A and B are shown apart, each in its own frame.
Chain A
Amino acid sequence: MISRRAHFVVAIVLAAGLGPIGVFAQGRGEAPGPPTAKADAPFDLTGYWVSVITEDWRYRMVTPAKGDYQGLGMLNPAAMKVAARWDPDADEKAGEQCKSYGAASILRVPGRIHITWADDNTLRLEFDAGMQKRAFHFGSAVTKSADRSWQGDSVARWEVPRGRGRAGGPPPPKFDSLKVVTTNLRAGYLRKNGVPYSEGAVVTDYFDLIPQGAREPLLVVTTIVEDPEYLTQPFIVSTQFRRQGDARGWDPTPCSATW
């Protein structure tokens, strides 16, 4: 026969032992899935974001000269050949003026992003620079487009936290980052001066919201471009944006190969 005291002791031990594990399991996403990506958003990405250009200024704020490949030691000989043939006027005439506005490089183009939910499982990003649009599709029902495009097909998911909650404290957020993988791209430029990526490139973006106390939060996007045709190792950059409360400065401007 088990005494009441023993029941009590065992119950406490189990509660103490399983509590954190339960929190961990929840954090790792083992609980039933959320109804929609929109409902499950761990943070609000919607609204207007402005580029803060403190890095690569010479390559982003003006069009760099032909042959300026600083930081691009991962280019292979095939990439160098393509870059050496860069002719922005020819791109304009060929209707290819958006080659430096594709998914691998659009976040580096100075401008503003307007983020909205297109539906419960699709996040839409509109860029005023180049008037581009990206659609981040959550869930497993993402279909590949018939045609390649500058912005390709993007599959998104909220990333789970990589730690446990605190015992006795509130459970951790179920997700804390947005991961987006983009494929099915038209070949474009990593840098405006003709440094190429191929249509086989895979672009992975991580979106992280970084609070700034009383100031508007920052959005940090870590972009990883893998391209077996032109890169000997992944190209990795991180780009900052600051949230702004309204549409001021929103200025849709068509792509330009020459500026």
Chain B
Amino acid sequence: MFGDMVTAMPIVNRFRTSTAVAGLIVVMTAAASRTASAQVELAGSWAARNHEDALERGGGPYAVDYTGIPLNDDARLRALSYSASQLSMIERQCSLWAQYYLVTGPFGMKISNETDPIDGSTIAWKIGGWEDRAPMTIWMDGRPHPSKYAIHERGGFTTGAWEGSTLVATTTHMKASSIRRNGTPTSDEATMVTSFIRHADVLTVLVVVEDPIYLTEPVMYSKSFELDTSPQMPIGPPCVAGYEGVDDRQVPHFLPGTNPSISEMTELYHIPREALMGGAETMYPEYRKKMKDGFVRPEKCVRNCGGPR
């Protein structure tokens, strides 16, 4: 039928038809390309499932618990000098909440995408911020990362690309922060690669953080979310400093050897102090064997025991 229509047309109209068809081809090709740039739907509300690291993600970690973090000596020294009262300083009020808090914090995610009005392709994925973590914009349009001299901001700068069905996002230009909310430091040279892995209604997010200043090898965390029909609301306002009546010319800290929390987890859980100091060794199975002979299991849990409410 299409052929009959073409045959019946004058030559000039055939030319117009061919031009229109060529245009159609361009549109169809563009549509096909568009699907490639949005290979898995991520938009929606995702409820957090904090079935692992529940204390760390919720109430927060113990003040001296660096287990499983590949800290170097400088990082350890700095972490032991950290006082949570630093959060009462205006300039440090947000210092604990970098983008990795997406997987080490308690909240769900609201993901949306910004689309090109012409071809519908995804220009950026956006993950709503929390009261303390800045929103994340994952640029999908191929733009480069800024110069290494560019300003570092709380949210950093993130670009993404699909690898199969996994969205892989790379974040740079973050501010110095903390890998765990107890002052274990990360520098402003830290970078983060985030993989978004969807299986039906479960979304697992893997974060790998590298920091040439404070980590001896990459550290990784993952967290699973479930698709939620209730909206996960990006919330604000951003972090607010507390007031402790401290002289604003002072940085609250502990001098070497004076951190009062250094024995807390050893007393509660019998975890050796050496393990609490972290280091890459504590990330691997051999370390469990190393502790075996000296470890005595506490008889019962006495604090932060969790369970159903």
B-binding residues in A (CB < 8 A)? 1-3, 5-7, 9-10, 12-13, 16-17, 19-20, 50-58, 60-76, 80, 110-112, 129, 159, 161-169, 172-173, 176-177, 179, 206, 208, 210-212, 215, 218, 220, 222, 224, 232, 235-240, 249, 251, 258-259
CB pair B308–A80 under 8 Å, yes or no, is yes
A222 to B200, CA, bound (A): 12
CB pair A111–B285 under 8 Å, yes or no, is yes
Pairs A–B under 8 Å by Cβ, sample size 29:
A5-B6, A6-B14, A9-B21, A20-B32, A20-B35, A53-B68, A61-B291, A67-B301, A69-B307, A70-B54, A71-B52, A72-B307, A74-B51, A110-B284, A159-B199, A161-B39, A163-B36, A164-B35, A206-B197, A206-B202, A206-B204, A208-B166, A212-B208, A237-B224, A238-B206, A238-B222, A240-B220, A240-B222, A251-B289
Measured CB to CB, the nearest residue on chain B to A195 is: B307
Across the A-B interface, give the 5 residue pairs with the lowest CB-CB distance, nearest first.
A163-B39, A71-B54, A2-B3, A70-B306, A167-B32
Measured CB to CB, the nearest residue on chain A to B309 is: A73
Flag whether B305 is at the interface (Cβ < 8 A). yes
Main SS class of interface, B:
mixed
With A112-B285, A240-B222, A249-B286: A73-B28 Cβ-Cβ less than 8 Å: no
Residues of B within 8 A of A (CB-CB), count = 78
Flag whether B114 is at the interface (Cβ < 8 A). no
Flag whether B98 is at the interface (Cβ < 8 A). no
- Across-interface contacts of A218 in B (CB, < 8 A): 206, 208, 220
With A66-B301, A73-B306: A222-B199 Cβ-Cβ less than 8 Å: yes
Give the most central of A3, A67, A70: most B CB within 10 Å.
Answer: A70
With A65-B299, A70-B306, A211-B163: A162-B53 Cβ-Cβ less than 8 Å: no
Flag whether B133 is at the interface (Cβ < 8 A). no
A111 to B32, CA, bound (A): 45
